[in-house]
C-alpha cells in the first residue's frame, strides 16, 4: 500500500504544500468578499440605492454574528464528518450570499443575503479550516496553520484592487455576481481538492469516544481562560483595525500621514507570521500567544502615550495582532490534542466572532461618547489586563505540567 493512501476514501491526500496553497487561495477570496467587502463596496452601494451607510456596512457585522452563532455546531460537524462537506457548504453559501447581495432589490433582502453569507463565513474562514487541518495532520498541523494565515494576510491586498476594477467594469452588482462565480468556479474545486482523501471524512459515521469533545478537571479552567484571552484580543484588535485612521489622527498624524502609516499594519502582520513560521517549531504555541498579547499591549501603550513614533506603535501592534490568529489555531491544538480540537475551536470561535461582529459599533460608540484619545486609553487598559490573564494561563499550564507535544 502506498504511504498516505486512504483506503476508505479511495485516494491519496495531496501534498501538504498543495493543500495549504489551495486553501490559502480560498481564504483570500473568502476574507476579501466578506470582512473586507465594505471598504470598497459600501460607497457604490449607498450611491445607487440610497440605503444608510451604517446599514450597508453593518452587513458584515450580521454576517460575523451568524458565523459566530453556528461555529460550535460547525466544529462538531468537522469532528464527525471532516472538512470536506463543511467547506463545500461554505463555497455554496458564499456564492448564494454574494448573488443575493448583488440582486438585492431592498435593504431587508440585502441583510438576509448577508446572513447567508455569514453561514459561508462560519463554515469557511480560519477557525473551520484550522479544525480541518488539525484533523488532517494532528499535532503536526502547526506549520500548515501558520502558512495558511500568510495567505489570508494578503486578502485586502488582492481583493481591494480587484473589487475596484470590477466595480468600474461591471458595477457593484455585477462585481458581486463575478465573486459568486469565483467561489463556485475557483474556491469550491480548490477546497474539494485540498480535502481529497480527508481521513476524517472517510471515517464519517464511525463512532468516536464520548470524551473526544469533553474537558476534564483543570482543563475546564484552562479552556475558559484561553477563550477569554482570545476573545478579548479579537475585540481589541478589531476595534483598532476598523478605526485605525481615526486613532492615528487623534494621536497627531495628518490625514495623509495616517493613511500611509496605517498601510504598514498589513505588512507587519505578515512579517510577524513569517517569523513565527521560521522559529515556531522550537517552542510551545502558548509562547506565540504570550508574545501576541504582550506586543498588542505594548503597541497600544506606544500609540496612547506618544512616547514613540506612530510607525513603531503600528508595527508593534500589527505584529501582535498578526500572530494572534496563528495562536488561535495552534494553542488549542497543542493544549487539548487533535481529537478534541475541531469541537473546541468551534466553541472558541463563538465569542471571538461575536466580539468581531460587535467591534465596529462598539468602537464607534466609544469614539462618539468618549473621544478617540480616551477610547485608545480604554483599549490599552483592556490589553494590559489581557497580559495579566495570559500570566494566569501560563501559571495554570505550569501547574498541569508539560503538555503532550511540547517541543523538547
Which of 318, 305, 296 has the alpha carbon at shortest distance from 385?
296
> What pLDDT, on the 0 to 100 scale, is given for residue 5?
40
Query: Is 198 in the same domain as 220?
Result: no
Tell the residue number behind the cell numbers 467587502, with chain if given. 37
Query: Which stretches within 33-82 are classed as H helix?
Result: 37-49, 53-81
Asked if 91 and 124 touch (Cβ cutoff 8 Å), the reply is yes
Examine residue 148 and state whether it is found in any structural domain, yes or no: yes
Query: Is 219 in the same domain as 287?
Result: yes
For the entire predicted model, the pTM comes to 0.83
Query: Is 64 in the same domain as 185?
Result: yes
Which of 368, 243, 355 has the alpha carbon at shortest distance from 300?
243
Q: How far apart are CA 135 and CA 308, in angstroms?
A: 44
Query: Is 48 in the same domain as 114?
Result: yes
Query: Is 152 in the same domain as 291?
Result: no
Half-sphere exposure of 249 (CA within 13 A, CB side): 11
Asked if 328 and 109 touch (Cβ cutoff 8 Å), the reply is no
Query: Is 276 in the same domain as 394?
Result: yes
Examine residue 208 and state whether it is found in any structural domain, yes or no: no
Examine residue 77 and state whether it is found in any structural domain, yes or no: yes
Tell the residue number behind the cell numbers 468602537, with chain if given. 363
Which domain, by its residues, includes 302? 215-400
Query: Is 177 in the same domain as 275?
Result: no
Question: Which of 202, 235, 265 delimits the end of a domain?
Answer: 202
Q: How far apart are CA 149 and CA 153, in angstroms?
A: 6
CATH number of domain containing 32 = 1.20.1250.20
Question: Which of 176, 202, 228 delimits the end of a domain?
Answer: 202
Query: pLDDT (tens digit, 0 to 9) for every residue of the chain, 408 residues total?
Result: 333 444 334 466 788 899 999 999 999 999 999 988 887 898 899 999 999 988 888 898 899 999 999 999 999 999 888 889 999 999 999 999 999 999 999 999 999 999 999 999 999 999 999 999 988 888 888 889 989 988 888 888 888 889 999 999 999 999 999 999 999 999 999 999 998 866 655 444 444 444 445 777 788 889 999 999 999 999 999 889 888 888 888 888 888 888 888 878 888 988 999 999 888 778 899 999 999 999 999 999 999 988 788 999 999 999 999 999 899 999 999 898 888 888 899 899 999 999 988 888 888 888 888 998 999 999 999 999 999 999 999 998 776 655 444 433
Examine residue 171 and state whether it is found in any structural domain, yes or no: yes
Three cell numbers, residue 76: 462538531
User: Alpha-carbon dihedral of residues 47, 52, 58, 60, nearest 10 degrees?
Assistant: -20
Query: Is 249 in the same domain as 170?
Result: no
Examine residue 1 and state whether it is found in any structural domain, yes or no: no
Query: Is 359 in the same domain as 305?
Result: yes
Backbone angles phi, psi at 123, to 5 degrees: -105, 0
Question: Which of 202, 230, 258 delimits the end of a domain?
Answer: 202
Query: Is 26 in the same domain as 119?
Result: yes
> What pLDDT, on the 0 to 100 scale, is given for residue 407?
39
Helix (H) or strand (E) holding 159: helix 155-182
Domain count across the chain: 2
Query: Is 353 in the same domain as 266?
Result: yes
Examine residue 11 and state whether it is found in any structural domain, yes or no: no
Examine residue 408 and state whether it is found in any structural domain, yes or no: no
> What pLDDT, on the 0 to 100 scale, is given for residue 213?
52
Residue 92 CB contacts under 8 Å (≥ 6 apart), including other chains: 120, 184, 188
Examine residue 92 and state whether it is found in any structural domain, yes or no: yes
Query: Is 170 in the same domain as 259?
Result: no
Amino acid at each position: 500500500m502506498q504511504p498516505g493512501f486512504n483506503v476508505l476514501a479511495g485516494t491519496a491526500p495531496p501534498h501538504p504544500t498543495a493543500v495549504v496553497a489551495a486553501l490559502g487561495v480560498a481564504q483570500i477570496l473568502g476574507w476579501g468578499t466578506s470582512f473586507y467587502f465594505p471598504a470598497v463596496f459600501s460607497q457604490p452601494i449607498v450611491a445607487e440605492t440610497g440605503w444608510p451607510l451604517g446599514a450597508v456596512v453593518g452587513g458584515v457585522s450580521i454576517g460575523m454574528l451568524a458565523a459566530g452563532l453556528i461555529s460550535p455546531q460547525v466544529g462538531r460537524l468537522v469532528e464527525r464528518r471532516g472538512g470536506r462537506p463543511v467547506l463545500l457548504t461554505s463555497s455554496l453559501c458564499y456564492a448564494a450570499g454574494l448573488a443575493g447581495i448583488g440582486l438585492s432589490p431592498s435593504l431587508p433582502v440585502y441583510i438576509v443575503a448577508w446572513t447567508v453569507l455569514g453561514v459561508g463565513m462560519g463554515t469557511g474562514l480560519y477557525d473551520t479550516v484550522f479544525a480541518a487541518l488539525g484533523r488532517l495532520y494532528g499535532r503536526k498541523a502547526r506549520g500548515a496553520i501558520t502558512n495558511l494565515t500568510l495567505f489570508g494576510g494578503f486578502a485586502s491586498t488582492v481583493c481591494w484592487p480587484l473589487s475596484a476594477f470590477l466595480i468600474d467594469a461591471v458595477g457593484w452588482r455585477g462585481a458581486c455576481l463575478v465573486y459568486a462565480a469565483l467561489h463556485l468556479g475557483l474556491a469550491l474545486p480548490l477546497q474539494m481538492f485540498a480535502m481529497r482523501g480527508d481521513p476524517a471524512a472517510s471515517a464519517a459515521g464511525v463512532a468516536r469516544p464520548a470524551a473526544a469533545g469533553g474537558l476534564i478537571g483543570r482543563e475546564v479552567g484552562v479552556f475558559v481562560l484561553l477563550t477569554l484571552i482570545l476573545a478579548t484580543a479579537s475585540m481589541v484588535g478589531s476595534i483598532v483595525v476598523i478605526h485605525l485612521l481615526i486613532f492615528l489622527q487623534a494621536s497627531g498624524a495628518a490625514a495623509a500621514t495616517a493613511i500611509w502609516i496605517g498601510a504598514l499594519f498589513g505588512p507587519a502582520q505578515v512579517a510577524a507570521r513569517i517569523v513565527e513560521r521560521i522559529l515556531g517549531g522550537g517552542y510551545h504555541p502558548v509562547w506565540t500567544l504570550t508574545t501576541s498579547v504582550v506586543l498588542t499591549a505594548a503597541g497600544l501603550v506606544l500609540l496612547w502615550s506618544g512616547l514613540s513614533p506612530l510607525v513603531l506603535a503600528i508595527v508593534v501592534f500589527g505584529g501582535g495582532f498578526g500572530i494572534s490568529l496563528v495562536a488561535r489555531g495552534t494553542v488549542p491544538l497543542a493544549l487539548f490534542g487533535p481529537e478534541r480540537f475541531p469541537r473546541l475551536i468551534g466553541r472558541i470561535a463563538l465569542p471571538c466572532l461575536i466580539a468581531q461582529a460587535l467591534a465596529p459599533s462598539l468602537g464607534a460608540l466609544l469614539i462618539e461618547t468618549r473621544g478617540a484619545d480616551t477610547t485608545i486609553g480604554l483599549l490599552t487598559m483592556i490589553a494590559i489586563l489581557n497580559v495579566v490573564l495570559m500570566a494566569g494561563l501560563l501559571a495554570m499550564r505550569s501547574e498541569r505540567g508539560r503538555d503532550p507535544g511540547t517541543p523538547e
